[in-house]
């Protein structure tokens, strides 16, 4: 699995930026057209056109490293490392503390990245304070622009020791800022699973796509959702919530 993830590089969605570049088709570029006319001394010239540039949409990954996520955390962080190799990606770990680990995951070698990350995260296999940490993320980074227009992915089983109402409130804030909110829950693959736990139940109304995260195949499907595909459950029912926002 580690070898496969080392070669796995999911790409994110793109967005239209305000910048434009010369193009064969698109709106008329008045400045370039006038300059061309002046260069020709007023003689007729082809209309110059330009089009808006497409740029990668930022991806933000919030990876749960609490005790209940111990069987999955290493593989999910390797998934985060693979994602950061191809598209603008910010990575945070969440448990009892919020830790930004984007710099540690900048190493090209995944094993070096995991070693650097192990020394930077102080709350491995601890408790979970999803609502409080999501509020900290939004207040410190998200509201200032990191989450605005981004695809935000939470990789967690949804177990919450704090107040589920706080998590629900912060998820609504996040949903209003982000382009899309995705939740990957490894326990969703278990037979008979239902999102009835307090944290998961409170968060789900603000989630655009609710997917699994327990295997390499599930992570490949998650990568497709990050690229913009709709999430579909094994029975074929769409679980994507809400319309995509530009």
pLDDT at position 131 = 95
- The pLDDT value recorded for residue 195 is 82
| Number of domains making up the chain | 2
Model pLDDT, residue 227 = 82
Predicted confidence at residue 204, as pLDDT, reads 94
Asked whether residue 70 is assigned to any structural domain, the reply reads: yes
pLDDT tens for each residue of 103-162: 999 998 888 999 999 999 999 988 889 999 999 999 999 988 899 999 999 999 998 888
pLDDT band at residue 237 under the 50/70/90 scheme: very low
Question: In terms of domains, do 117 and 152 share one?
Answer: yes
Whether 88 maps to a domain, the answer reads yes
Contact 210, 187 (CB under 8 A): no
Same domain, 91 and 127: yes
> Within this chain, do residues 76 and 46 fall inside the same structural domain, yes or no?
no
Reported confidence tier of residue 4, pLDDT bands at 50, 70, 90: low
Q: Is the dihedral of CA 66, 113, 209, 17 positive or negative?
A: positive
Q: What is the mean pLDDT of residues 207-223?
A: 90
Residue 174 lies in a domain: yes
Rounded to 5°, the CA angle 225-166-124 comes to 65
Q: In this predicted model, what pLDDT tens digit does every residue of 29-45 receive, in sequence order?
A: 888 878 877 888 877 77
Print the domain residue range for 36: 15-54
In this predicted structure, the answer to whether residue 26 has a pLDDT above a threshold of 80 is: no
Q: Are 62 and 128 in contact (CB under 8 A)?
A: no
The mean pLDDT value of the chain amounts to: 84
């Amino acid at each position: 699995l580690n070898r496969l993830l080392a070669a796995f590089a999911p790409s994110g969605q793109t967005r239209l930026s305000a910048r434009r570049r010369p193009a064969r088709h698109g709106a008329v570029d008045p400045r370039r057209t006038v300059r061309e006319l002046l260069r020709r001394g007023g003689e007729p010239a082809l209309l110059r056109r330009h089009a808006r540039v497409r740029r990668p949409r930022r991806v933000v990954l919030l990876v749960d490293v609490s005790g209940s996520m111990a069987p999955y955390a290493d593989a999910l962080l390797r998934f985060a490392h693979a994602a950061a190799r191809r598209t603008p990606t910010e990575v945070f770990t969440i448990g009892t503390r919020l830790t930004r680990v984007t710099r540690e995951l900048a190493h090209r070698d995944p094993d070096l990245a995991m070693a650097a990350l192990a020394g930077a995260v102080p709350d491995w296999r601890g408790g979970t304070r999803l609502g409080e940490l999501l509020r900290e993320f939004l207040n410190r980074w998200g509201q200032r622009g990191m989450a605005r227009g981004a695809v935000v992915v939470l990789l967690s089983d949804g177990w919450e020791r704090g107040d589920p109402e706080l998590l629900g409130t912060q998820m609504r804030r996040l949903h209003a800022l982000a382009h899309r909110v995705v939740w990957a829950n490894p326990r969703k693959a278990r037979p008979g699973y239902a999102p009835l736990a307090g944290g998961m139940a409170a968060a789900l109304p603000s989630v655009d796509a609710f997917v699994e995260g327990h295997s390499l195949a599930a992570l490949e499907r998650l990568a497709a959702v990050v690229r913009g595909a709709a999430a579909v459950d094994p029975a074929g029912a769409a679980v994507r919530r809400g319309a995509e926002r530009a």
